[in-house]
Amino acid sequence: MTFEETGLKPELLSAIAEMGFVTPTPIQEVTISHLITSTQDLVALAQTGTGKTAAFGLPVINNISMQTKEVQSLILCPTRELCLQITRDLDNFSKFIPGFKTIPVYGGADITKQIRELKAGGQIVVGTPGRVHDLIRRKILNVSAIRWLILDEADEMLTMGFKEELDAILSTTPAGKQTLLFSATMPLGISEIKSKYLNNALELSVGKRNAGAENVEHHYYVVHAKDKYATLKRIADNYPDCYAIVFCRTRMETREVAEQFMADGYNADALHGDLSQAQRDQVMARFRSKQLQMLIATDVAARGLDVTELSHVINYSMPDDPEIYIHRSGRTGRAGKNGISVTIVHMKETGRLKQIEKLSRKKFERKMVPGGEEIVEKQLFHLIDRVKNVEISDGHIEKYLPQILDRFDGMTSSDIVKHFVSLEFNELLDYYKNARDLNIRAEIPRDPFTRNDRGSERGGDRLKFTKLFINAGKKQNLNASGLIGMINEYSGRRNIEIGKIDIQRKFSFFEIDSNYERELVKSLNNVVIEGHVISIGRVESTAGQEANAESGSFRSEGRSGGGGYGGGFREGRREGGFNERGDRPRRKRN
């Protein structure tokens, strides 16, 4: 199919042709024609980077009336960056439609400017749930006449804790609108929104669900936890031309790794939630323009950062949810290019690695952390190639050449090359002269429960973990993101360290900072979520876990009457949902 066959207006066809669009992606092919001709609600499951913005943006623009300036479509997305990206795309699509206006509204920016733009009028509003909800409550944004409501990356909005705002916004929109829900996954909270706010929705799943990109290689290195940072530096040194995002698990880890990495002379910066909006904009602009070679980021902070030329994605910390790994790795290998997804794991994480390998249906190749000699050789020939290919400025060097040759009088060409290389490489050679082997040579265990139930390494300190059981799993559409969100919501905290998560069919196991065990069990036990009464308790032994889960023999520390797990789901005390708030530089060799 071509875009001409979808039924789009000539103005849109001209715009996308100018943008270089030739044929629709799978998600575009199955949605554009449907949305142009049908008012049926739609749920579309497709991975990040598959062209979802054009899939919903082109048909909505195609059908919008230019006879009015009132808002006809509201698009909700999780982050400011994605909001601005969608707005840019819609502006490009509508380039040849006079008077068409898309208005972005988001937190962290001057609301008065956004209010002025809304009062001036526009056809589409793109916004984050918090700011949209605020503007609706102020009676500035009127969504009572919208014809299309679009939830983009709806799973991530729930992950970030926007369930209340989404419920409030959706309840103010007209019943006759067409609702389009785009998501990479279908957690329980999404199913709830679908059943509550969509009518007879057509559900489309495009491509192989949970399958990794075809042109991405998956590599992993097994090291001790204390050697993760040293391994990251060696990976960076071994790929001198890499253009990469390095994913960390928490804001604190992102900040610590980035500060040390930059202090060691690497061309990098950090992107996390503690930055001001101006700082985030500056970092992202530098990375998009390739002034930065490596970006250290959390998953949430990197949302909306649309970069198509990444050579590497580096998982400094493994994600709790295997699907998050697929999202991360899908950021490289785009636009027909090849990419490499690298994961640094320690022995206690190898079971989770196997889970990701199974889910993504990709073979992960174990690599050895490069040694000093290998890195020096790679860097040396990288320098030689740069020198050989450098553009020589006509006339500027010639006038100095006689004096330069005089100063090299008596030296052979080989001596001159040695001096130049030594000038650049003496520091690197000294640093890697006696570099130790960082690799763990032991075989990787296949048992996903090999992790120590009572401890996990974090930097140089020992953080105590407790393994807990919960009577919800895949059958209840619970995934790792939803579990983390539930922990955040009912504990009322955002800083609880969570270890390994294992989602089974009817139940799940997870590790949590032992300091918060009693608090979480007390908060969650007997809570009713979508008709299911939650039971939660400590796993006293890793032996026979699945049998114990089925028979209810785990220890509970909740309220009286909340101890057993064999009684099924009962009526409980409150209701809720699974949701969350949630050129080579000179290196210093420390």
Mean of pLDDT over the chain: 79
pLDDT at residue 278 in the model: 80
pLDDT at residue 447 in the model: 38
Rounded Cα distance, 112 and 133, in Å: 15
- List Cβ neighbours of 193 (8 Å cut-off, separation of 6 or more): 151, 154, 166, 170, 181
531: DSSP letter = T
pLDDT at residue 566 in the model: 28
pLDDT at residue 59 in the model: 95
Distance in Å from the first CA to the final CA of the chain = 56
What is the value of pTM for the model shown? 0.53
Residue 427, pLDDT > 80, answer no
- List Cβ neighbours of 385 (8 Å cut-off, separation of 6 or more): none
Distance of CA 562 to the CA centre of its chain: 36
- The pLDDT tens digits for 314-327 are 999 888 777 678 77
Q: How confident is the model at residue 518 (pLDDT cuts 50, 70, 90)?
A: confident
Q: What is the mean pLDDT of residues 67-72?
A: 89
Q: Is 502 helix (H, G, I), strand (E, B) or coil?
A: strand
pLDDT at residue 394 in the model: 66
Q: Percentage of residues in the chain with pLDDT exceeding 90?
A: 29
pLDDT at residue 142 in the model: 93
Q: If you write DSSP's letter for every residue of 327-339 in order, what string do you get?
A: HHHTTSS-TT--E
- The pLDDT tens digits for 73-124 are 999 998 888 898 899 999 999 999 999 999 999 987 889 999 999 999 999 9
- What is the pairing mode between strands 465-470 and 536-538? antiparallel
- The pLDDT tens digits for 549-580 are 444 434 433 333 333 222 223 223 333 334 33
Rounded Cα distance, 157 and 142, in Å: 22
In 10 A of CB 467, how many CB atoms?
Answer: 25
Residue 15, pLDDT > 90, answer yes
- The pLDDT tens digits for 177-232 are 999 998 766 666 677 778 877 888 888 876 544 444 578 899 999 998 889 999 99
Instruction: Enumerate domains of the chain plus CATH numbers.
Output: 3-205 (3.40.50.300), 216-371 (3.40.50.300), 373-432 (no CATH), 456-576 (3.30.70.330)
